[in-house]
Amino acid sequence: MKLVSNIKNALNRENIENKILKERGRIYIYTKKIKESINFLKKIFGIISISPSIQTKSDLDLISVKAINISKENIDENKSFALRVTRTGKHNFTSKDAAIKIGNEIVNVTKASVDLTNPDFELYIEIRNDKAFLFIEKIKGYGGMPIGTQGNVLAFIDTPQAILASWYLTHRGCRPIFLATDETNKTNVTFFYLIQLTSF
């Protein structure tokens, strides 16, 4: 898969040790350098969002322990929260069952109130087969299509508008080959954007 290859190349280029696994609809990246990785991942075309997560088994008791630990760091009796639970695979419980059980245990420990409409804090729980992932952030990525999936294009850079056009082509999966004049090479902003476009 081109996106996995692009991610691997970007992290390896920055000497960030990583392990990548892919499942339907998800790419899992295991690394000790989470913050550094996010800085690069959010600029890779094809990534819609990034969520630093805690992984555990798809056992409700184990999920509850993780959920309570996360909640204690973020809420108390003066705040509200909501659980956003999704489930994929075969389990002896539904998403609603999981949300009710885990939510009740969080309330008992933190004394926080539940507000599904406008909470102070949201905890996302994805239960996928034998694993569960808990996270509190959805960091927006560039989206679009992975670079290299739509072939190469020659981008003649003579104006700022040409840089923007190249960005949109890259966003659609093209790999740009830049051609610039001596005049445009004198513009620092041009180089800045070229570096951004070609870094992944």
Q: Which fold has domain 2-50?
A: Alpha-Beta Plaits (3.30.70)
Q: What is the pLDDT of residues 6-62, one digit of tens each?
A: 999 889 988 999 999 998 889 999 999 999 999 889 889 999 999 999 999 999 999
- How far is the C-alpha of 153 from the C-alpha of 49, rounded, in Å? 26
Q: Are 60 and 98 in contact (CB under 8 A)?
A: yes
Taking each continuous run of H as one helix and of E as one strand, the counts in the chain are: 7, 11
Which comes out higher in pLDDT, residue 105 or 157?
A: 105
In this prediction the pTM is 0.82
Residue boundaries of the structural domains of the chain: 2-50, 54-136, 152-198
**What's the whole-number average pLDDT of the chain?**
89
Which neighbouring-strand residues pair with 143? none
pLDDT at 186: 56
pLDDT at 182: 65
Q: How confident is the model at residue 63 (pLDDT cuts 50, 70, 90)?
A: very high
> How far is the CA of 119 from the CAs of 75, 125, 141, 186, in angstroms?
11, 16, 24, 50
Do residues 43 and 142 touch, judged by C-beta distance below 8 A?
A: yes
**What mean pLDDT comes out for the span 155-160?**
79
Query: Euclidean distance between the first and final Cα of the chain, in Å?
Result: 15
Fold designation for 54-136: VC0802-like (3.30.2130)
